[in-house]
Structure 1
Amino acid sequence: MLDPSAGLPFPATVHPEARAARRITWDSREASPEVAFVALPGEKMHGNRFVQQALAAGAPFVLTDLDVPRAVRLPDAQAALFVWARHERARSPLVVGITGSAGKTTAKSYVAAALDALYMPVFNTMPAIACFLIESGGSDRPLVVEMGIDRIGEMQELMALVQPDIGVVTSIGPAHLEGLGSVERIALEKGGILAAPRGGFVSRQAAAYYPATRYPNVQVYGFQEGAGLQLSAEGAAFRYPSAHGDLPVFLPLASRVQAEASLLALKIAEWFGLPLTEAAERLSGVTVPGGRYRVLPGRFTVIDDAYNASPIAVKVALDALHALPGRRVSVLGRMLELGPTERELHAEVGAYARVKADLTFGVGEFAPELGEHAYRTVPELVEALRGVVQDGDTVLVKGSRGISWTPEKRAAEGVGLDVVVKALLEQRDGEV
């Protein structure tokens, strides 16, 4: 429980009606009788505007500079939140931090399963991470934290907050170029996570950016081409070599990305002396969040990878699609935050799709670059797909979601491809 009356790691005036909470959030819509609210400054408005809303929802306390009921009052709520988070993180026995241009959420899910750890569900912003650390303080279970960045200097800030014992880089490629500038700068910034005191891991894809001469405490993980990994429509299988013999691992409906995340997870589990058989059993039961390469089998198979996209992530998804049987269909939307080279990067991805898929569709501003069948809006795309997709097909749907955009702009720009996934599933499952 988070009890403001039991002592805080920062000076504050605690209202006598403030109560203990189970969780804390920066989103007033999540406030409830068990969830406290912290009023943070935002790009457009301050969280103080939503304090009354949080109180009306029953928030046990609110972290704010306002003089209101149940307030934990202090001048700077954001600074206090981060102080509190660092204080609680210090009580955790092991923290694994994960970053990369693609594959962070997948790696987080599998590492957490292998370690039987607590982990952040979705968001990876500084306030979200701080709230997670506060809520997890005092647990004897490891913590796994996704540490995404989109600007120079952000990893340094995250390292000061999270203080991971182990750092992981899943991949390096063009993503968030508007804030980071170049792939080389992305590698340099993300590589800050490898300064974790107990060392780190980088994927084979990212290893070229982190030579052993500069990163001596870093291990490389991944499967060599053509060796050790079996992929099929049923899933991914491999044998993990351990001190007690090879351990068979099977991941239902998984691709190479999930298999490499599992390999990473087992390496970390073995490093800390955890029972590998139990870790492997937990790995086989991992389910990834919607929109992150979730395979949905049926009369035709839909691969829901519509949450986000970058060139490297799209190519990895297309590789996975290419390994599956039947007619392969790629449905690609715009990738965001790619800077002045975005047209060239979309064209590069589209050319790759034409090699890996039998039918290619694109939607939005760069639709012609992304697919042979190009559509301006999502509704037009959905109507076309209804007349093309047939039994036995595998359809990959991938694009940037554009969370902060209006529905109208999302449709016009070709983002929000979760709508396409929903339409395909309704078509497939609504017919006999």
Structure 2
Amino acid sequence: MVDPFCALPFFAAVHPEARPARRLTWDSREAGPDVAFVALPGERMHGNAFVEQALAAGAPFVLTDLDVPRAVRVDDAQAALFAWARAERARSPLVVGVTGSAGKTTAKSFVAAALDAQFMPVFNTMPAIACFLIELGGSGRPLVVEMGIDRIGEMAELVDLVRPDVGVITSIGPAHLEQLGSIEGIVREKGVILRGVQGEPVRALVGAQASAFYPGVDSYGFGPVTHAGEDLTVTAQGASFRFAGVPVTLPLAARVQAEAAVLALTLAHEAGVALPEAAVRLAAVSVPGGRYRVHPGRFTVIDDAYNASPVAVRAALDALNGWPGRRISVLGRMLELGPTERELHAGVGEYARSHADLTFGVGAFAAELGDRAFATVPELTAALLAEVRDGDVLLVKASRGISWTPERRAQEGVGLDVVVRALLAARG
């Protein structure tokens, strides 16, 4: 419950008709009788333009500098939101921050399951994280926060807001290069999560793939790492391994999910959680759609279409390579790769050709990504539906281009969730 009459960490004039809310939003369309509205500055318009709309929808209160009914009136709504978030975060017994070039959402989901923690939804902007901390910081349960960045300085801002007790980097690879500049820039910026704010201690952990970039930092995964799972086996049915003598089985999972489970069990052990109980919860983890979600049937569709970077696509192709049957890769454009994007797409395409029996590409770099190249998503979809047969395994992966129009998404070969839906519908 979000109570505007609690001891706020900033000066506010609280309207007498304001009342507690179940949660907060900065999108006035989500405001309602249980959802309060925070009026934040936007790229085009200030949230103040939508305060009346939120009030009309029944918002319990609005955080704003306007003098309106049910206002929690402050000089700066954004600064107040962040101050409130820091205060509520301080009430949490444990906060885990997760970043990386790939695998953030998977790691977050597994860590939250092992710790029986509250965790961030997919949308992980600064305002979203602030609202999450305010809503759940005082729940008494650990919190797990996904901390993605796409510009220099952003991780420092996130760390200052979240103050993670544990900082995790899952992997390092070329992603958001247009803003971060280079692999070295990515290593430097993401590495901020491993250091505390003003000397505060942080438990730092990095995945096996990222360990070479952070010498001396504890690592997790399989092989020569600090915290290792043992006897990993990956089949079409899933992944299994042992950790500290405890058997772990993850249905329909691959190595990436198994590594996330090792991270989760490492943190659970350090938090005093019984590992057999944590392992049971891990077996039931379901990651959000588009993140290596396996749809078995007369042909199998691996929906990994939520987003893509070179390191993430290679990991998905490694998983595809372990499946029986005819393996088909369906790849689209990876965004924000800077001036070397053609070379990076070509490298991924070469990897796909060595890991799949048939390779399909779509959009601007279709020929680099696959032997069967298509200009648009509708053309690709039609060709796939004509080609696929019983026993096939199809991996679908590309960046989203979430702010693009549907027409541009189809033309550029991003947002291949529409391909996944068509395949599943055709399968019956």
Fold-level similarity (TM above 0.5): yes
Is 2:214 the counterpart of 1:210?
yes
- How far did residue 338 of structure 1 move? 0.7
Q: Match for residue 60 of structure 1?
A: 60
- How far did residue 49 of structure 1 move? 2.1
The 8 Å contact of residues 174 and 183 in structure 2, kept in 1 or not, is answered as: yes
- How far did residue 80 of structure 1 move? 0.5
Question: Over residues 92-115 of structure 1, what are the superposed CA-to-partner deviations in whole Å (9 max), with x where a residue is unaligned?
Answer: 010011000000000000000000
SS in 1 for 2:186: helix
Amino acid of the residue matched to residue 158 of structure 2?
L
Is 2:162 the counterpart of 1:168?
no
- How far did residue 227 of structure 1 move? 6.3
Relative to 1, partners in 2 of residues 1:356 and 1:227: Cα closer, same or farther, differing over 3 Å? farther
Whole-Å separation in 2 of the counterparts to 1:390 and 1:159: 48
Q: Could you list the runs of 5+ residues in structure 1 that have no partner in the other structure?
A: 213-217
Q: Match for residue 339 of structure 1?
A: 338
Runs of 4+ in 1 over 6 A off after TM superposition: none
Q: Match for residue 283 of structure 1?
A: 282
Relative to 1, partners in 2 of residues 1:363 and 1:113: Cα closer, same or farther, differing over 3 Å? same
Whole-Å separation in 2 of the counterparts to 1:25 and 1:211: 40
Identity %: 74
Q: For structure 1, which segment, 83-92 or 36-45, has the greater mean C-alpha deviation from structure 2 after superposition?
A: 36-45
Whole-Å separation in 2 of the counterparts to 1:103 and 1:311: 12
Q: Match for residue 205 of structure 2?
A: 201
Number of aligned residue pairs: give it: 420
Question: Over residues 179-217 of structure 1, what are the superposed CA-to-partner deviations in whole Å (9 max), with x where a residue is unaligned?
Answer: 1000111011101111142421111100111011xxxxx
Whole-Å separation in 2 of the counterparts to 1:419 and 1:272: 41
Question: Over residues 13-68 of structure 1, what are the superposed CA-to-partner deviations in whole Å (9 max), with x where a residue is unaligned?
Answer: 21222111010011222211111111111122222222222222211111112222
Whole-Å separation in 1 of the counterparts to 2:410 and 2:50: 29
- How far did residue 223 of structure 1 move? 1.1
| RMSD, matched Cα | 1.2
Q: Could you list the runs of 5+ residues in structure 2 that have no partner in the other structure?
A: none
1:231 to 221, 231, 234: 234
Question: Over residues 149-180 of structure 1, what are the superposed CA-to-partner deviations in whole Å (9 max), with x where a residue is unaligned?
Answer: 11111111111100000110000000000110
Amino acid of the residue matched to residue 351 of structure 1?
E
Whole-Å separation in 2 of the counterparts to 1:143 and 1:232: 32
Whole-Å separation in 2 of the counterparts to 1:166 and 1:227: 24
Whole-Å separation in 2 of the counterparts to 1:137 and 1:188: 29
Q: Match for residue 25 of structure 2?
A: 25
What are the residue-to-residue correspondences of 1:71-86 with 2, within 5 Å? 71-86=71-86
Whole-Å separation in 2 of the counterparts to 1:47 and 1:351: 47
Q: Match for residue 215 of structure 1?
A: none
SS in 2 for 1:228: strand
Whole-Å separation in 2 of the counterparts to 1:227 and 1:111: 19
Whole-Å separation in 2 of the counterparts to 1:93 and 1:7: 20
Amino acid of the residue matched to residue 290 of structure 1?
G
Whole-Å separation in 2 of the counterparts to 1:224 and 1:351: 26
Is 2:413 the counterpart of 1:411?
no
The 8 Å contact of residues 230 and 241 in structure 2, kept in 1 or not, is answered as: no
* TM-score normalised according to structure 2 size: 0.96
